[in-house]
Amino acid sequence: MRFIILVSSIFFLALTSFAKPTVKRDNRITFTIFNNCDEGVQPIFDPSLPGREFTGQNVIKPGKHSEIHFTSDNYRGSIYTRIKGSRQDGQFNTTHGQFDIGTGKYAISIANGFNVPLRLQLQGKQEPGPDGTTQCDSAFCECKHCKDAFHHQPGLLTPKASEEPCTRPVHECPPDFTYWVVHFC
């Protein structure tokens, strides 16, 4: 009997010492979108955000910002706006901010053209790095020749790109960060 208790205790200790605690991140995502342009912008998510259908009524006035909340563990998509010569469908002449909620990766793509400067950043609390910073780098593209953007497909949102190591123009933050900031213009 003592032998069975001893073996059971050792087995239990072995299991608990090697088990990794499961930490579930908050799946409530926030995007704060700033309009620094001289005209109203209408942020468009493609595909539509979970639980939110595009209504066409969410124009952000110049100098203002808006917060959008949704719940997801694995949404992948892009954000863009249709101003300054872009097409209605967003496929041509649009600067796209691309992001993957599940991996914390984000990038800017101008493979379909450029219409406005765009800054995209994932923010959250993390240990300070050697330089004392606690935020992840911004992806920023201010002109059609910017270096911090995909100029050709495939961009971040293809299966192959999400499996490759993180190199610019792809940025990466811990995926448990849930606060995204977007600046148009």
The domain that holds 53 is classified in CATH as 2.60.110.10
Mean pLDDT, range 103-107, rounded to an integer:
90
In a domain, 104, yes or no: yes
Residue 47 lies in a domain: yes
Q: What is the mean pLDDT of the chain?
A: 75
Edge to edge, what strands does the sheet with 65-71 contain? Answer: 65-71, 28-35, 179-184, 118-123, 139-141
Q: Is residue 11 part of a domain?
A: no
Worst-scoring range by mean pLDDT, 33-47, 70-84, 133-147?
Answer: 133-147
pLDDT at 95: 93
Query: Structure pTM?
Result: 0.74
Average pLDDT over residues 28-35: 92
CB within 8 A of 104, min separation 6: which ones?
122, 172, 173, 174, 175, 176, 177
How do 28-35 and 179-184 pair as beta strands?
parallel
Q: pLDDT: is 21 or 65 the higher one?
A: 65
Q: What's the maximum distance between 2 C-alpha atoms anywhere in the chain?
A: 81
**Assigned token pair, 155:** 């961009």
β-partners of residue 82 are: none
Q: Is the residue at 135 inside a domain?
A: yes
Token couple for 49 = 């955000």
The confidence score (pLDDT) of residue 26 equals 62
Judge whether 41 lies within some domain.
yes
User: Which is more confident, 175 or 52?
Assistant: 175
Quote the CA–CA distance of 95 and 158 in Å, as a whole number. 17
The reply to whether 7 falls in a domain is no
Task: Determine the distance from the C-alpha atom of residue 145 to the mean position of all C-alpha atoms in its chain, rounded to a whole number.
Answer: 22
Residue 19 lies inside a defined structural domain of this protein: no
**What integer is the mean pLDDT of 121-141?**
70
| Number of domains within the chain | 1
Residue 13 lies in a domain: no
Please state, in angstroms and rounded to a whole number, the distance separating the CA atoms of residues 13 and 34: 52
Chain centroid to CA 36? 20
By CB atoms closer than 10 A (0-12, 13-18, 19+), residue 180 is buried
Copy the structure tokens of residue 156: 């971040």
Domain that holds residue 122: 29-184
Cα 60 to the center of its chain, rounded Å: 20
| Whole-angstrom distance, CA of residue 12 vs CA of residue 26 | 30
